[in-house]
């Protein structure tokens, strides 16, 4: 599976449900995922 992502297949963008800046990781990423986001958040990306 890792090799498939490295080769560009499949496209991982549809798997990303949120993108948050680093400074908001705890509040908008982790806490949201553990609370209300449990049903909707699958993969959260953090922007450095």
Residue-by-residue pLDDT tens, the chain, 48 positions: 778 878 878 887 787 777 778 888 778 777 777 777 667 766 767 777
Q: Tell me the CA end-to-end span of the chain in Å, nearest whole number.
A: 25
Q: How far is CA 41 from CA 23, 33, 36, in A?
A: 19, 6, 9
* Tokens describing residue 25: 């990781």
CB 45 within 8 Å of CB 18: yes
Tokens of 1: 């599976």
């Amino acid at each position: 599976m890792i090799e498939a992502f490295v080769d560009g297949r499949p496209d991982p963008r549809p798997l990303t449900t949120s993108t948050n800046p680093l400074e908001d990781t705890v509040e908008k990423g982790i806490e949201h995922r553990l609370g209300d986001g449990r049903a909707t958040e699958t993969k959260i990306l953090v922007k450095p």
